[in-house]
Structure 1
Amino acid sequence: MNPMQGFKLNTTAIRNAKAKAKPYRLSAGRGLVLLVHPNGSKYWQYRYRRRGKEHLISIGVWGTTRDFVSLDEAFAAREEIRAKIKHGIDPAEEKRAQKRVAAEREGKATTFEKVALQWLSVWGRGKSERTFKYQERRLQTDIFPLIGSMPIEMVGRKDVIEVVKHIDSRGAHEMASPKELPELLKKISGYQGLLTRYAMELMALTFVRTSELIQAKWSEFDFDNKRWVIPAERMKKAKGMQAAHIVPLATQTLMLLQQLKTISGASTFLFPGLDARKPISNNTILMALKNLGYKGRMTGHGFRSVASTVLHEQGFNHLYIERQLSHMERDEVAAAYNYAEYLEQRTAMMQWWADYLEEARK
């Protein structure tokens, strides 16, 4: 039986609604709900469906004084929203449009675009012109048309989510979701090109950058200490510096490398091309993923994104993940970069990741 059946929300019930460990909602009927936060605050929301998807629009904070929204006022707001939906007006889209109009009228407002361009000028110091232009183009194409004119203090979580949805809808999100990972791994296991298959599997296990994987040499691997040490000169340059990078080798990774050694062990490179003096092309993995049906859905870099997403969701320390991705923290200086930092924790994390992939493949 539904515990809310027969329950009638009134001012007394709202006032007596106690905070819990997690947010929960009380129904006031016909789509109107009261969201109760763990800190005790209570917010009116209206739940509706549009184009087959459920949406929530905020009405205001519950209260009985002039600055808050009472139960009767929430009922009135609900009926107003229902009338708009009946006439084909999406209240959430209307609200965003009103925000943009208000921002355009307020010429002196510090807009998101102004702040973003200030950030870009600082971020771009030391970057190549190509990298800078690429980032600038992403802002101009995907973000500014939607929220660029909004005052920075008015940009909320929902606005950011809309930007992400916009980018995702045009196929720019070239990363398989964790839910898609089992199917992807099974398809990789059945890939006909053995050398390319091993390259994709090693990419998944180590989530290094494509160029770091493709140009890998057998001399970089320390099998006794179960480490792959990528020399500084092969690492992506960041903040005017380059540093060596350690990749702890999980049990599954070591087994894969032993199998790979029977194929390319006589070569300098793990993945030699037709000319054994050179590695395979950087596009090899991208083309293989395309052949597997993942064009526009997954790239070599996508393995890094998936790993980061899963590891963060599983509660691994952000610093361990970022160091394993060979990312420098924003306030970190080159002289302080320690390529062996958190190595013990990263080793355990990489073994967990390999176990996770093995289980997902089953």
Structure 2
Amino acid sequence: MLTDAKVRTLKPKEKSYRILDAERLYIEVRPTGKKIWRFKYILHGKEGTISFGEYPAVSLVQARKLKDEAKAKLATGLNPSQEKKKERMEKQLKVKNTFKAIAEEFVAEKMKYKSEDYIKRFMTCMEKDVYKEIGNLPINEVTSAHVLNIMKNTVQRVQSQPNYGTGEAAANLCRRFIGLVMRYAIVTLRTDNDPTYAVKDAIESPEVEHARPLERHEKTALMEKLKTYGGTTTVRNAIQAMLYSMLRTAEIRRMEWGFVDFEEKIIKFPKASRRLKQERTMKKNRVHIVPMSFQLLELMQQQKAITGDQKYVFASPYKRDCMLSRTAINKMLTYVGLGQITAHDFRATASTDLNGKGYKSDWIEAQLAHADDNKTRASYNHAKYLADRRKMMQDWADMVDGWK
């Protein structure tokens, strides 16, 4: 029988040679100096050989233990060499089927038409809160307990940062993103259970504050803050454009110079692309025409001098040819001390004030892009009301300028 001391002293020769230990376990010494443990066996009348690895990474004691394990498999009719390959393949499959690996596959395969902003939100959630808990876990081992723990940790992380909120919304966003990956794994036959469903009501998000019209003092304060705002002109112009146009934040952010017709004094949003429809940022898949007041026209001409060589009208001041971030406008309002106001409130204010002045609700709804589900009638009314809306929007811009 071999001893560890003897194995250490074995020297390479011109050709490979073998030294027997016991029970058909031997060490093979190669001309390169490598020493490989091997075990020769017979199963169903056929001879086979299995390698246990290289010495000294695999010691004599470990090699004997592996030999005993192989003999135990042989006793039950299993081929130790085939079982080793099977175990290796299972390990490789586990690595490929970790939550992180499948999440990255999901991004590549299913987020092709999502915006950079949406993908960034997904990846931020994964990297900050999800991967540390289940990233390296086989996806079929992810449980509801894991998801709940991630949600609780997310709440704690958000609450530990000043002015970042209470964390419930971020926790539920993580749960929804995990659910997307789990359901993708189900349809691709990597798992058969979505553990996010059981904890969907575990943490309640704060009640959504719906848009409401601005109070008189808020209108005055807003106009004063806009005049004295010391930040970027593009962000200030974006807010001013929202006030004059009654557009949504998403429409302001995605507005391209190709939509703006200075001669006709209109902004014409085309039908939503496939990507935008999937993201549901456009409420209806139709052309939306916005008549420009003199004030909005002048503002757009001013903005043309700033971003006219870029794709987006209100392009990010920090990244060329990228749109403003989702939170830029509301962050600006918070920065100037108007955190109680949101960009959504501008549209509610316009709707309330114009209805109060007696303008036809059909004109207001068309301007807000709350068109009728009847596509033929909606298209007809949109064109029919354009002249009326042009006058209404000029009156509205004058009303906004009167917030002093």
TM-score, normalization by structure 1: 0.49
Greater radius of gyration (CA): 2
TM-score, normalization by structure 2: 0.44
